[in-house]
Chain A
Amino acid sequence: MDGQVNIPPKTSIAAALGVAALFFWLVLQVPERDALGRSLPLSLLLGGAFGVLLQRSRFCFYCIARDYIERRDPRGLLGILVALAVGLLGTYAVIGGWMPVPSPTRLPAEAHIGPVSWVLALGALVFGIGMTVSGSCISAHLYRLGEGSPVAPFALLGAVAGFALGFLSWNELYLRAVQEAPVLWLPRWLGYGGSLALQLAILAALALLLMRRSAPVEPASSSLFDSVFRRRWPAYVGGALVGALATVAYLRVGPLGVTAELGSWSRTAADGLGLLPKRLEGLDTFAGCATALKETLLSRNGVFVGGLILGALAAALVAGQFKPRLPTVVEAARGLAGGVLLGWGAMVSLGCTVGVLLSGIFAGAVSGWVFALFCFGGVWLSSLILRRMAVARGLL
């Protein structure tokens, strides 16, 4: 490919070791705790692990959806279902310890259980369209940044702008729908056991549906080193590890999420430019990827996202998948435009595929399921339109 840099393996392994050294140096450098007493080094370590997981198992919601839509390959989607099942079990174990009986008035501490309204559905739909346009969701753009993706920087820049647009439309949406939207937590109606059984049953039914398509057989690997460091991990392995990591993160630091820091940069920048209304109504009262104005340079989500990028970079270097190149104009434009949609959708939905879809469903939130439905709906719809357009132009 034009402009592509081919890094010889020895150089890239040395570079990976350098990145790992930088990472662990940072673990020793970051302050011990944030304002709420959470461990920042732990947040950074978990972010690094999350980056390695995402990169090694190609845990990219858009690629996974496209595999199924275009080639009927269900492996990636099954990986997400595994992540949801493992994360549900782990998160329920944590919540059940904190709140032995589901409270009728209170929600488990900081769990991403959001208001359910048409705003959430619309936000998720737009987010899904943004995934198709930019080629990834926000978490995947972050790990792709570590792979040297030419699109990711534009998509993330676009997302920051999209967030600002989200803040601008927030007060209107809040007063029209979000303020009176119910915050639905399944254990409140079905208990822990009932809601867990229901959600696992839904996941099992979806898995059975997907498994009717015969998945391509994973080719046997030549060596263990190859399967761990070079070849893509089976999606179910990535999924199970994401579910386990989410449990540890929730217990010790906070629910998984990747947009709080981006949103917080956007809010601080837009506020600094005087673009935002003086008050964003009710925003700070919701759990989720809340986006506070930046007060400290190092927040727990900030170090988590930083760790994610470094982890993905190290993993990509070892695998020989670090392939930076200059973007084309079309790539930059698609990244920016798709990024704006991602940012707007994530802001009005109070998070993205990680913060709302994964962390929400893990905690038994209806908002997580609604986001999943409309986000994948958006991907499917926009893929269909793109395909029609390509056919019409005689490209397919």
Chain B
Amino acid sequence: MKFSRVLAAAAAVATAIVGWGAQASDALVSTEWLEKNLKDPKVRVIEVSVNPGVFERGHVPGATNFVWHTDLADPVRRDIVSKDNLEKLLRNAGVNQDSTVVLYGDTNNWFAAWGAWVLDIYGVKNVKLLDGGRKKWEAEKRELSTQVATAKPGNVTLADANPKLRARLTDVLASAEKKSNTKLVDIRSPDEFNGKVIAPAGIQELAIRAGHVPGAVNVPWGEAVAADGTFKPAAELKALYAAKGIDGSTPVITYCRIGERSSHTWFALVKILGYDVKNYDGSWTEYGNSVGVPITNVAGTVWTGK
């Protein structure tokens, strides 16, 4: 009897260690950890999914829903949410100064990672991403809830936006014109990068030029994840980016089409590898529309041209 109890305790400790050890970084939590800590009042879970009706029909129990294009972005001008609005939103979600915020979402956590980037800009502490996101939670048949939890308002206070995490057109242009040592990572598909297409299949073309920023290297975001949607181990990620000349010795800017998939890579580079990285949310829909900027267009596609 006693022996079996000791065994059980040892097994629990081992599982906990393995559960933690399996994560590539302490900015990530496993589905297993989250399930065990759902009842912890210090843990606040927030879903950021892009597809409508996904949260409502079943979410991680106790999670709050953030809608990225109205909650985390300014709905009128092209910008991230204002400090005041985000503070209100987080307080309504029950986030306190000492809370651990766990973000997750559909489509491989793209928008959850975007949320993590926005929260980081406003200095929110202890922000984690659920490794593998919604897809892994569902695949493991973990509990889903359709009830919307009403949280006791929290007291989190945000800092002013930190410009160091956000790249602007001038930063990208400086790199393109070799006036800075910043390296660029384009995380779009090779066909977008090479200018064969201006936008991914089925997505409206919002830029009127094809190609990429001169000097950028192409590492599609999907190369950073394993088959189950979790991030690859740190050593593998390090090798992946080092092979393209991104080794952390110089500052980096990540970009994609509108800045959301590149947040995913931003998260990997900053939170797992600890590199100095800015995300460029203007991305190709700003750069590819800018007048007079240099572009590398390998395929030579001309917008509306024959």
Residues in chain A within 8 A of chain B (CB atoms): 35-38, 97-100, 105-106, 108-110, 251-252, 254, 295
Query: Which chain B positions have C-beta within 8 A of A36?
Result: 51, 53-54
Given A97-B148, A98-B56, A109-B52, 11 further pairs, Cβ under 8 A:
A36-B51, A37-B57, A37-B106, A97-B147, A98-B146, A100-B150, A106-B67, A109-B56, A110-B52, A252-B57, A254-B53
**Is B53's CB under 8 angstroms from A110's CB?**
yes
Cross-chain pairs A/B with CB under 8 angstroms, 29 sampled:
A35-B51, A36-B53, A36-B54, A37-B51, A37-B54, A37-B106, A37-B138, A38-B57, A97-B146, A97-B147, A97-B148, A98-B56, A99-B148, A100-B148, A100-B150, A106-B67, A106-B70, A108-B56, A109-B52, A109-B53, A109-B56, A109-B57, A110-B52, A110-B53, A251-B57, A251-B146, A252-B57, A254-B53, A295-B202
CA distance A187 to B51 in the complex (A): 24
B151 → A minimal CB distance (Å): 11
Instruction: Choose among A37, A100, A251 the residue with the greatest number of B CB atoms under 10 Å from its CB.
Output: A37
Alpha-carbon distance between A106 and B51 when the two chains are bound, in angstroms: 15
Closest-by-CB residue of A relative to B147 is A97
> Closest chain A residue to B138 by CB distance?
A37
Q: Closest 9 CB pairs between A and B?
A: A109-B53, A109-B56, A110-B53, A98-B56, A36-B51, A109-B52, A97-B147, A98-B148, A110-B52
Closest to B135 in A: A37
* Residues from chain A with Cβ under 8 Å of B67 in the complex: 106
A295 to B148, CA, bound (A): 32
Of chain A, the residue at the smallest CB distance from B57 is A252
State the main secondary structure of chain B at its contact with A. Answer: loop
Q: Hey, which chain B residues are within 8 Å of A35, CB to CB?
A: 51
Distance in Å from the Cβ of B64 to the closest Cβ of chain A?
Answer: 12
**Across the interface, which residues of B come within 8 angstroms of A295, CB to CB?**
202
Interface centre among B57, B67, B150 (most CB of A within 10 A): B57
**Which residues of B are found within 8 Å of A99, using beta-carbon distances?**
148
Within 8 A of A (CB), among B148-205: 148, 150, 202
Q: Which residue of B lies closest to A252 (CB)?
A: B57
Chain B residues whose C-beta falls within 8 Å of the C-beta of A105 in the assembled complex = 70
Interface string of B86-125 (1 = CB under 8 A from A): 0000000000000000000010000000000000000000
Residues of B with C-beta under 8 A to A108? 56
* Complex Cα spacing A105 to B138, Å: 30
Give A211 Cβ to nearest chain B Cβ, in Å.
Answer: 37
How many Cβ-Cβ contacts under 8 Å join chain A to chain B? Answer: 35
Give the residue name and chain of the A residue nearest to B71 (CB): A106
Cβ of A106: which chain B residues have Cβ within 8 Å of it?
Answer: 67, 70
- Closest residue of chain B to A95 (Cβ to Cβ) is B56
Chain A: minimal CB distance from B201 (Å): 10
By a CB distance below 8 angstroms, the chain B residues around A254 are 53
Chain B residues whose CB sits within 8 angstroms of the CB of A98 once the complex forms: 56, 146, 148
Within the complex, the shortest CB–CB distance from B83 to chain A, in Å, comes to: 20
- Residues of A contacting B150 in the complex (Cβ-Cβ under 8 angstroms): 100
Q: How far is the CA of A110 from the CA of B53 in the complex (A)?
A: 6
A264 to chain B, nearest CB (A): 14
Bound CA–CA A271/B169 (angstroms): 38
Query: CA–CA, A100 to B51, complex, Å?
Result: 21
Q: Which residues of B contact A37 (CB under 8 A)?
A: 51, 54, 57, 106, 138
B72-91 vs A, CB cutoff 8 Å, 1 = contact: the mask equals 00000000000000000000
Bound form: Cα–Cα A251–B38 in Å = 24
Closest B residue to A107 by beta carbon equals B52
Q: Taking CB as reference atom, which chain A residue is nearest B55?
A: A109
In whole angstroms, what is the CA distance A107 to B146 when docked?
Answer: 17
Q: In the complex, what's the smallest C-beta–C-beta distance from A252 to chain B, in angstroms?
A: 7
Q: What's the Cα separation between A106 and B89 when bound, in Å?
A: 15
CA of A332 to CA of B304 in the docked complex: distance in angstroms?
Answer: 45
Residue of A nearest to B202 (CB): A295
Q: Distance in Å from the Cβ of B36 to the closest Cβ of chain A?
A: 24
Q: In the complex, A133→B52 CA distance in Å? A: 38
Among B67, B148, B150, which residue has the most Cβ atoms of chain A within 10 A? Answer: B148
Q: Give chain A residues whose Cβ lies under 8 Å from the Cβ of B202.
A: 295
A386 to B53, CA, bound (A): 44
Bound CA–CA A295/B201 (angstroms): 11
Q: Which residues on A sit within 8 Å (CB–CB) of B51?
A: 35-37
| A197 smallest CB distance to B (angstroms) | 23
Task: Give CA–CA (A130, B52) in the complex, Å.
Answer: 33
> Which B residue sits closest to A254, measured CB to CB?
B53
Report B153 CB to chain A, min CB distance, Å: 14
Q: How far is the CB of B60 from chain A (nearest CB, A)?
A: 14
Task: Please give the distance in Å from B203's CB to the nearest CB on chain A.
Answer: 12
- Docked complex Cα distance between A99 and B53 (Å): 12
> Which of B34-57 touch A at CB < 8 Å?
51-57
**Bound-state Cα–Cα, A110 to B67, Å:** 14
Bound complex: CA A109 to CA B138 (Å): 20
Q: How far is the CB of A33 from chain B (nearest CB, A)?
A: 9
Per the 8 Å Cβ criterion, residues 10-59 of B in contact with A are 51-57
Q: Measured between C-beta atoms, what is the minimum distance from A257 to chain B in Å?
A: 14
Question: A254 CA to B51 CA in the complex, in Å?
Answer: 13
- In the assembled complex, which residues on chain B have CB atoms less than 8 Å from the CB atom of A109? 52-53, 55-57
Q: How far is the CA of A36 from the CA of B146 in the complex (A)?
A: 16
Complex contacts, B147 vs chain A, CB 8 Å: 97
Q: For residue A39, which residue of chain B has the nearest CB?
A: B57
Return chain B residues, CB-CB under 8 Å to A252. 57
In the complex, what residue of chain B is closest to A99 when comparing beta carbons? B148
- Chain A residue numbers with a CB within 8 Å of B138 are 37
Q: How far is the CA of A252 from the CA of B56 in the complex (A)?
A: 9
